[in-house]
Amino acid sequence: MRVNEQIRYEPDDSCPPVAMLNVALQGAVIALTNVVSLVTIFAVTADGGEGYLAWAVFSGLVIAGATTALQAARIGRIGSGYILLMGPAAPFMGICVLAVNEAGLPVMASLIVAASLVQFAMAFWLAQLRRIITPVVSGVAFMVVAAAAMPICVSRLDDVPAGLSPLAGPMVGAVTLFGAAALMLRASGLIRLLAIPITLLAGCAAAVVLGAYDVQRALEAPWFDLPEFAAWPGPGPIANRDFLALLPVFLVVSAVVAVKAGSEGASIQQASWRRPRAIDFRGVQGTLNAGGIGLLLSGIAGTLPALIYLPSSVALINFTGVAARRTGFIIGAILFGLALLPKFVAILLTIPRPVTGAILMVVMGLLFVEGVRTVIQDGLNQQKAVIVGLALSIGIGLQAQDILTNALGSPWDAAFGNGIVVSVVAAVLLSMIMGMTFSRSRRMETELDIAALPDVDDFLRDVGSRARWNEESLDRLRAAGEETLSSMLQLRDDYEGDKPPRLVIIARPQSGTMEMEFLAVSPEENIEDRLAYMSEQAAEPDVGEISFRLLRHFASSVRHRKYHGIDIVTVRVDAQSNR
C-alpha cells in the first residue's frame, strides 16, 4: 500500500501554531504571485486601464482569500475540507478577453455569473455523472496539464533583463532547481517547513549575483492603498445579442472546468493523508460548490474567475508535510490582508522569472506523477490504457501544434483551441464509448434489508445466466452480492425515517466480468477503507468483519463512492473458466 511518508500533519490533525503560520505564509506567497501575475496580464490584455487593474488585483486577492478559506471549511455541502489554494486562473482567460473585446467588461461579468451555475449543477448531479468524472479522466487531466505547462516553465529560465549573458537565466534556474530538489529529498523538521522560502531566497541570491534582479518596482509602490471603487464594471445586460452569442462558450468552458475541479477535489484527498483512503465524493461535491461560489463572486466583481491552484496546493503539502485544514483559514486571512498592502505585492512580483520557472518545473513533475497514480489506482486494463494514451497524444500534440484554433474560428476557438480542454473532452468521450460497448445493464429495486436477500440472489442468478456464466461463476457472483448487501447493512447506522432506505442494484455484464452497483442512502463509514484496513491485519478476524473479508475474497475489486444523500458500492466479479 502506498504511503505518503512526507505528511506530518493530516487534515484533521492539530498543527502547532508556529508551523501552521510558516506554511500559511508560504501558501499565501504562492497564491499571491499567481493572482497578481494573471490578473495583471488579463487587465492589460483587456485594456482595462490603471484604475481597473488596481480594482482587479484587489478583488482578485479578496476572492482568492475567501474561497481558499471556504474550501478548507467544508460548511454543509460547501468546501472540500482540504488545503486548496484558489485564485484567478488561465482557463477562462481567453474567453474573458474575447468577451471584453466584443461586448465589454459588464457583459463579461454577467457571463461569468451565468457560468457559475454550471458548477453548482455539476455538484448536485455528481452521482449521476460518476461515469464522466472517473479516475481515468482525472489522471489524464493532471498529466496533460503538467505536460502542457512544462515548456512554459522552461521558457521562463531564459527571461532575464536585456544585456545579460544568455547563461544567466539557466544558471539561476539551476540553482533554484537544485535547492528545491535537495530540500524535498533530504530536509526534515523546520527546514522542510521553510522549503519554499529557502528555495526562493537561494534563487534570488543567485539572481542578484548575476545581475538578474530588479527591485525598482517594489521601491515605488505605496505601503497601504485602496483601489478605485469607481472602476468596478458592474453587471451587464443579459438580453442583448453579444451575451447570448457568447453564453454557450462560457457554459462549455465552465463544464470542462467543473470536470477538472472534480478531479482536483479527488486528487487533493489522495495527497493529504499518509495512507490512501477511498475518495469521499461528498468532499468533491463541496469542492465544486466552493468553486461555483468563486466564479459567482468573480462575476459580481467583474474580474478573472477564481479557480483551484492544484499543482501549487499539492506542492505546498509535499514541500512542508502539512495538510492540516486550519492552515487554509490562515492563508485566506493573509491574502485578504495583502489586498490592502500593495508594497508586499510589488516585492513578490520582483522575484525573477527563472526562479519561479524552476519551482514550477518541480510542481509540474509532481502533478504528472499524481496523474499516473490516479490512473493506476483504479486499475489499468487494455481499454483504459487506450483512453489514457489517445487522450494524452491528442492533448500534448495540440499543445505543440494547435490546428484547431484557425479551423474552429471565433468564438469556439477560445473554448477548444486548447490541448488541455480537448484532451479532457476526449477522455470523457472515450470513456462514454467504452461504457456503451458493454452489454445492456439490468436493474432491480428493493429495500436495504436482510429480507431482500432472496430477491437479490434471484436477480443475480438471472443476470449471470443471461451472460452464460457457468455454475461456479454464478455461485461466486451470488456470494459477492450477498456479502455486499451484508456489508452495507453493517454500516447502516443513522438513516432518516423509520423505513429501511431503498436499494437499487445495477448489473452490467462485460467481457468475462460482471460489474454491480449497489445504490443506497449514505452510512458514515466507507467499505473500501474497511477492506484496505483489513488487508494490513494478520490477526484473527473479528466476527463483524467476516462479510467484508468474504467480499474481498469473492470480488476482484470493490469501490465505495459516498455522495450527499446516496452511497454507491461498485463490485466487480470475474467469471471462472470451465475446468
Q: Which residue has the cell 465544486?
A: 288
3-state helix, strand, coil in the chain (%, to 5): 65, 10, 25
Mean pLDDT of the chain: 77
- 487-546 pLDDT tens trace: 778 766 545 555 677 888 888 887 778 888 888 865 555 555 554 544 444 444 443 455
| Neighbouring residues of 521: CB distance < 8 A, sequence distance ≥ 6 | 448, 495, 496, 501, 502, 565, 566, 567
- 244-302 pLDDT tens trace: 777 877 887 787 778 778 777 877 887 888 776 767 778 888 889 999 999 999 999 98
CATH 3.30.565.10 domain extents, the chain: 442-574
Q: Which residue has the cell 503538467?
A: 146
Spatial separation of the C-alpha atoms in residues 181 and 196, rounded to whole Å: 11
Q: How confident is the model at residue 406 (pLDDT cuts 50, 70, 90)?
A: low
Q: For residue 167, how far is the Cα from the chain centroid?
A: 36
* Count of CB atoms situated within 10 Å of the CB of 176: 29
- 61-79 pLDDT tens trace: 999 999 999 999 888 889 8
Spatial separation of the C-alpha atoms in residues 29 and 533, rounded to whole Å: 38
pLDDT number for residue 538: 42
Torsion of CA 148, 257, 143, 354, to 10 degrees: 40
Q: Which residue has the cell 452480492?
A: 481
- Give the torsion sign (CA, 33, 36, 42, 45): negative
Distance of CA 140 to CAs 143, 374, 392, 395, Å? 5, 9, 7, 9
pLDDT number for residue 66: 93
Spatial separation of the C-alpha atoms in residues 477 and 514, rounded to whole Å: 8
Query: Residue 84: which of 349, 290, 235, 310 has the closest Cα?
Result: 310
Q: For residue 524, how far is the Cα from the chain centroid?
A: 23
Using alpha carbons only, how large is the chain's radius of gyration in Å? Answer: 26
pLDDT number for residue 63: 93
**Which range among 110-124, 302-316, 414-428 shows the weakest confidence by mean pLDDT?**
414-428
Domain spanning 442-574: CATH 3.30.565.10: yes
Strand arrangement, sheet containing 557-563: 442-447, 502-510, 513-520, 566-574, 557-563
Q: Which amino acid is at 145?
A: V
